[in-house]
Amino acid sequence: MKASDDGRRPLRDLALRYTSGAGRLAAAIAARPEAAAELTGRPNRVAVISDGSAVPGLGDVGPAAALPFVEAKAALYAEFAGIDAVPICLDTGHARGTDGVVAAVRAIAPTFGAVDLTGFASPSCRDIERRLRIALDVPVFHDEQHATPVVVLAALRNALRVAGKDLHTARIVVLGSGVTTGAVTRLLLHAGAADVTVCTPHGILDPALDTPPEPTAWLAGHTNPRRLHGGPAQALAGADAVVAASADGQLDQHLVDTMAAPPVVFALAGPQPPASPAAVTATHLTELLAFPGIVRGLLSARAPRITTAMLLAAADVLAGLVGEDALGPHRLLPDVVDPQLAPTMAAAVAAVEASRRRAEPTVHKGP
């Protein structure tokens, strides 16, 4: 064979695969759409999508300026979980907002095994996630609604252990408003926290309110068992733990001093208020502890959606990776580079999906 022929051979092989090999795969998928999971790279591919309306630390900078942030998150998926993540920034023009984003993501969804929404402004991000969760056959992940609650729950469990307290009996206050406040509170309740009070900038949510504004109606009906009234001062007096989920300026040293000793103080939006040396504190808990492992598990199990049981399992893993010898007031979670973190969390998430499928009733077809 001539050298020139040898150089052209790989190109001929690729051409044959494209025209005949790819054609056979396309025909197989057209006949049986679920075959795409075995015949394409879709099961290991995630779309990391932003419209640049709420880039962390920068705010509304637009889709072009959001690209480095989205590219960085895609690189983290690859590094920590071996996921093929594709950064996508949407410029929906006049359709910017819920309708435009939902339409754009639905249009590209057949390429991906999961969708990661990042850097979308609140409260539209909640509606976008909800609508896509209903419309798509793949999981839709959002840090504020999935990663942040998992990290907070894991850290809070360990913080309460350090303080000699228990999640099920502790008095917990969540300060703030918005998507993160609601998502954190819901997961705490599902985890067994029985005494949770939510205090927004407008005051304590009260289950006795006649017409609480959406989306706080559910929170108002499932929190504040002590029927407290007022603001942060009334909510925090005697509380065991506080999670300041948004930067609403409600948490200060005076309020922390009224809490039960030793206080557990999480200032997620910073800054951390001064506290006594006995306090158990945390700030800026990173979602990197959660999202690679959770999404890796979703993809490995080919799960169609994210469930509360998965988030609880992920939080169990995250809390459990800190041994008793390492646990302390300022050491509540494992390092992000812990090699056990992503694979252990992924296995736990995948196990929940496997259990769900086993529990589904068998559908018998034919006679």
**pLDDT, tens only, 240-291:** 999 998 776 678 889 999 999 999 999 887 666 666 677 898 877 899 999 9
In this prediction, residues 34-48 reach a mean pLDDT of 92
Beta strands in the chain (DSSP E): 45-50, 84-89, 114-117, 140-142, 171-175, 195-200, 203-204, 241-244, 264-267, 280-283
Instruction: Tell me how far apart the alpha carbons of residues 65 and 72 are, in angstroms, rounded to a whole number.
Output: 13
Please tell me which residue in 18, 77, 165, 365 is annotated as part of the active site: 18
Q: How confident is the model at residue 2 (pLDDT cuts 50, 70, 90)?
A: very low
Is 77 one of the catalytic residues? no
Please tell me which residue in 73, 77, 165, 365 is annotated as part of the active site: 73
Residue 15: per-residue pLDDT: 66
Task: Out of 7-21, 44-58, 288-302, pick the least confident.
Answer: 7-21
State which amino acid sits at residue 265: V
Residue 62: per-residue pLDDT: 93
Residue 50: per-residue pLDDT: 96
CATH of domain 146-283: 3.40.50.720
Q: What is the residue extent of each domain of the chain? A: 39-138, 146-283
- The pLDDT tens digits for 71-120 are 999 999 999 999 999 999 999 876 556 899 999 999 999 999 999 999 99
What fold does the segment set 39-138 form as a domain? Rossmann fold (3.40.50)
39-138 and 146-283, same CATH topology: yes
* 301: pLDDT strictly greater than 90: yes
Q: pTM score, two decimals?
A: 0.91
